[in-house]
Structure 1
Amino acid sequence: MAGISSSTPAIFPMSLYKPVAVVVARPAKKEREKEEEEVLVIEGIEVKRDEFVKFDVFINDEDEVVTGGGAERTERAGSFVSVPHKHRNRDGDDGGMVKKTQLRMGISELLEALGVEDDDEDVVVKLVPRCDNVHVTISGIKIEME
């Protein structure tokens, strides 16, 4: 994730055909002071129903990336997996080849393990596809309090 700068805005929707790193804003500090979980939300994940899709999600403190802390300070948050299946209705059509979903994962403990301070406003989220020649589109990434 080296070389990522907070001045590089992510352009959504994005196709996930190679690893992508995005700077994601955290909720305001006063919102984070409540004893709630920070939840990473990857919105509008569009995948073809008949393809196996997997991508991993990694998180790093933005300060570590910019100052060269590198991969040793990166934590794996989880994975998204979609197993291929076919669904046919009475007319014999497959009901649409693309499904749209989202991925939500709690990250408060992970941020604590990374040493992300309360005054840090951003984190870097890296998505790494684990399948070749698949079609994945993502419409946004954000962090919410839950």
Structure 2
Amino acid sequence: MAGISTAEATFPMSLEKPVTVVVARPAKKERDQEEEEEEVLVIEGIEIKRDEFVKFDVFINDEDEMPASGGGPEKAEFAGSFVNVPHKQRDGGGGMVIKTRLRLGISELLEGLEVGDDDEHVLVKLVPRCDDVHVTITGIKIEIE
């Protein structure tokens, strides 16, 4: 994919700086089965320390929106945020690592970006909003619900 300066994502990945990942969409036949079904972006295996404040934002863009074609990051749409509010343990269990996931419905967002049925991939950008926090992600995918 010419025009994207992001290397192929390898998982698990550490979210220390903004990361852009090319994510495959479900096969077209799966998306065409019913109008009522929703495409859901799933960020899996988010590992964080329970007692740390963690926040990152998720943006989506059409893979064809390259800066040379007048598109680019400024045309990306905000899909949602992940936030962990610190939980302190009375028994001294601070620093405990928890593993969770984030699920975001993106069908309407893809329509707004004019992502066509023939587009097989989208760009997903994760932007950390806090410093000195350790976040690990084991995978990103799109499912049909």
TM (norm. structure 1) is: 0.89
Unaligned runs of at least 5 residues, structure 1? none
Contact kept? 1:46, 1:100, Cα under 8 Å: yes
What is the correspondence of 1:42-121 to structure 2 with a 5 Å cutoff? Answer: 42-65=43-66, 67-68=68-69, 69-88=71-90, 92-94=91-93, 97-121=96-120
* Pairs within 5 Å for 1:8-23: 8-23=7-22
Give the drift of 1:9.
Answer: 2.1
Q: Secondary structure at the match of 1:86?
A: coil
Rounded to whole Å, the distance in 2 between the matches of 1:118 and 1:66 is: 22
Q: Partners in 2 of 1:67 and 1:29 — Cα distance?
A: 27
Identity %, equivalent residues: 77
Give the C-alpha shift of residue 73 in structure 1: 1.8
SS in 2 for 1:11: coil
- Measured in 1, the distance between the counterparts of 2:83 and 2:24 equals 25
4+ runs of 1 displaced by more than 4 Å?
none
Name the structure 2 match of 1:27: 26
The offset of 1:94, in angstroms, is: 1.2
The answer (yes or no) to whether the contact 1:4–1:21 under 8 Å persists in 2 is no
1:51-89: CA deviations, max 9, x gaps?
Answer: 10000000000010375411232100000000001234x
Q: What secondary structure does 1:94 align onto? A: coil
CA-based RMSD of the aligned residues comes to 1.9
**CA gap 1:77/1:44 in 2 versus in 1, 3 angstroms:** same
TM-score, normalisation: structure 2: 0.90
